[in-house]
A and B are shown apart, each in its own frame.
Chain A
């Protein structure tokens, strides 16, 4: 299990470094760290600044603060947001639930739609239908997410009037939630799918070039279908890792989509936190997203090991 251990060490390192960065940023920014950690408009008087400083342990030496920071994280204590009047971990938990509703279907649909279509497009890249498809995915790929979101909302919600304009739900029934999620998930799926499509198309073309000689020799022994299946399998394995890494990208995409669709998830939370300089929330969100990306990668590694005999054999 040498590879797995090496990977594990890297993940631990990644978490350690990013978390430490997170500790450093508010303390390194110009200005009073109390303000930076709490956000500006929270504090009214000088005396309460001092009070807060003591309460948050900011008058202690840095290494003690640093140790305390880690101990808080292990206790799942991410601080308190004076803007949102709530524990940061509680806020994050509520918002994350909703954003995952947006992100998870996107990742799955994006992979399920983008990968086979991309493989087909690579396989039959001379076909004019495939060219049109490639062109359209390319178009989506190269459009800023918010721009496409607004165009979609204008077209499908306003001009055609099929979908609601905002929020995660109105009544809160499962059907109602799906109805609200449909358009934003569609927009995000298009982005995720276009990425997978492009990557898959590229790797299938590459695999074909590599196997061309073999194929020429074996002509007659294998049907084209079998060959396609073979190439598809080879080319799609890296997709698992890519999908995991895309997690962060899709999260960022969710940020813009949430603003356009007035959805109260992580995206809007982060945006507001930036404007209000709500550092506890910013830090917490950053940590949470990092942990999720790392977990997704870990999952991808495990899946990869299960699916690819070469990796399993090496392990």
Chain B
């Protein structure tokens, strides 16, 4: 036995040694630091090439425009903008008081360079055919001329980080450029370094920032690859707040933080979880069948189980209340007898008495409900939907696939229904109001591109070519009516963005697109 104990004693000794040395290195913080914990992992220190690094860099290289707390657009690096009536000429007035972290002034040339540079290197691929010319004017502005009207250009410029020309003009391929050290930025903070092995992105106060002076000296974004550990980090105080782009804190975990010293920023969230219908394939191509499905779903229960009270019942108009020009369409209703009647009327009856309805030809039908494996909420929703549809006599097979396969299958229209979500930004893309998810002309990774109805296409074209506010409102209502009538997708609930933060800190602000990750937050937060 003796040698076993000596092993343990040796190990304990080692442990205490390590703890003493390790603890020494642990706190040597100088100045006030805000630590944000996120499950969004930066994979490579590439400002332009890495998706999440690009989002975090909104703090260091603020885009031209930004989203206000109420979801409207505001100027950021561009103080204001003008657009010609035909929607082809855009003029952005650049803030005259911005300086790069190396001391040089931010000029319209930098903005011109950024736009041309992104376009040439297919960072803004869609602009390539559209862009005629970018020019700089004497009144500190950039003028962008387009070959076709593009009424939502200002919206697009919420995401593209502005780069300093004098640094990037020598770099050939921005997407492939990586740098673990400093990136020159013009925001209140600039990227000081990226330590992927430590899982941290470091921001340092920009010494040449002339705007509102922040109360903190640095910002650290800590990345966690496991959600439970991230929550423990919050509880333990390793990080001060939580952030996940396009998705709040998991509702199921909120309870665990409520007992602690946590407060929550709760904002209406523009993204939503919906049931997408493959309207190119029978029987979902039949609008009366879709109508019946809309009555078969117990929305309250989905909201209760999946959103745990942090959601609201959705309307048939799909578009959530937090978007501009929201129209109050009819609320989605759960009424299974109505669903059954609808199905009977439309001819989907159970003629062979096996408890399951057959299609219009009298053949057995089993609908494929396609879901992605990377979201456990979708799995739970799919389980519920299978049961609801089973209750009205529709046989459903849940097919769970990994993300890439989901992209393939939905692009091939090889499914009947799918549970998926929209990102807040995605709701804006194309002709706004979620059109990007349905218009068959817009393809991409997360979108269903199922509608090829000329009426819908014309509506999208109209929206994209008008800059008149009154006109836009009218079109927006038309789009929502179109959704309500045709049900290409059913919003299962309208959720909320929940962001926990340690209540030692105050001064948070949040918008429906980026949540708390916005300049106002970093300029105003203060530790009590």
Contact = CB atoms under 8 A, between A and B. Distances in A.
Interface of A: 31, 40-41, 44-45, 83-86, 98, 113, 116-117, 120, 129, 133, 150, 153-154, 157-158, 161-162, 164-173, 175-176, 178-180, 182, 258-264, 268, 272, 275-277
A79 to B, nearest CB: 14
A176 B198 CA distance: 11
Contact of A175 (B24, B178, B229): B24
A40 B224 CA distance: 25
Contact of B199 (A45, A129, A167): A167
A159 to B, nearest CB: 10
Contacts of B15: 182
Contacts of B354: none
B236 A158 contact: yes
Contacts of B402: 275
Nearest to B199: A167
Contact of A170 (B46, B178, B198, B226): B198
A261 B233 CA distance: 11
Interface string B6-41: 010000000100110111111010000000000001
B200 A153 contact: no
Interface residues of B, number: 51
21 contacts: A40-B404, A41-B445, A85-B44, A85-B49, A85-B176, A120-B3, A120-B4, A157-B236, A164-B22, A164-B238, A165-B233, A166-B225, A166-B229, A168-B197, A169-B198, A171-B26, A258-B225, A261-B229, A262-B199, A263-B199, A264-B196
A137 to B, nearest CB: 12
A179 B25 contact: yes
Contacts of B23: 179
Given A153-B229, A173-B25, A166 B445 contact: no
Given A165-B233, A263-B199, 11 more contacts: A40-B404, A153-B229, A164-B26, A166-B225, A167-B200, A168-B198, A169-B198, A172-B198, A262-B223, A262-B225, A264-B199
Contacts of A153: 229, 232
B122 interface: yes
Contact of B22 (A157, A179, A275): A179
A98 B197 CA distance: 8
Contacts of B404: 40, 275-277
Interface of B: 1, 3-4, 7, 15, 18-19, 21-26, 28, 41, 43-44, 46, 49-50, 122, 125, 175-178, 195-200, 222-226, 228-229, 232-233, 235-236, 238, 374, 402-404, 407-408, 445
A165 B232 CA distance: 8
Contacts of A31: 408
Contacts of B43: 83-84, 272
B198 A178 contact: no
A128 to B, nearest CB: 11
B229 A165 contact: yes
B232 A154 contact: yes
A175 B22 contact: yes
Given A117-B4, A129-B1, A275-B403, A166 B197 contact: no
B374 A178 contact: no
Closest 4 CB pairs of A and B: A179-B22, A175-B21, A176-B25, A167-B199
Nearest to A259: B225
Contacts of A86: 44, 178
A74 to B, nearest CB: 25
A224 to B, nearest CB: 15
B125 A44 contact: yes
A150 B227 CA distance: 11
A153 B122 CA distance: 43
Contact of A167 (B26, B49, B198, B407): B198
A276 B122 CA distance: 20
A132 B122 CA distance: 64
A268 B197 CA distance: 11
A165 B222 CA distance: 11
B176 to A, nearest CB: 5
Nearest to B198: A167
B232 A179 contact: no
A258 B229 CA distance: 12
Contacts of B195: 169, 172
Given A162-B19, A179-B19, A264 B28 contact: no
A259 B46 CA distance: 22
A154 B175 CA distance: 39
Contacts of A268: 225
Nearest to B238: A165
A129 B402 CA distance: 48
Contacts of B232: 153-154, 157-158, 165
A160 to B, nearest CB: 11
A81 to B, nearest CB: 9
A166 B1 contact: no
Contacts of B445: 41
A117 B8 CA distance: 12
A166 B21 contact: no
A44 B19 contact: no
B451 to A, nearest CB: 23
Nearest to B173: A85
Nearest to B404: A277
Contacts of A84: 43-44
B458 to A, nearest CB: 26
Point out which of B49, B232, B238 has the most chain A C-beta atoms below 10 A from its C-beta: B232
Contact of A165 (B4, B25, B44, B236): B236
A67 B461 CA distance: 52
B25 A170 contact: yes
Given A261-B229, A275-B402, A178 B18 contact: yes
Contacts of A158: 232, 235-236
Contact of A85 (B24, B50, B122, B222): B50
Nearest to B26: A170
A166 B44 contact: no
A169 B195 CA distance: 9
Given A158-B235, A166-B229, A179 B18 contact: yes
A180 to B, nearest CB: 8
A85 B177 contact: yes
Contacts of A40: 404, 407
Contact of A166 (B7, B46, B222, B403): B222
A15 B4 CA distance: 41
Contacts of B21: 175-176, 178-179
A258 B224 CA distance: 11
A84 to B, nearest CB: 5
B18 A182 contact: yes
Contacts of A172: 195, 198
B181 to A, nearest CB: 14
Contacts of B196: 264
Contacts of A182: 15, 18, 22
A262 B226 CA distance: 7
B18 A85 contact: no
Contacts of A129: 1
Nearest to A169: B198
A169 B24 contact: no
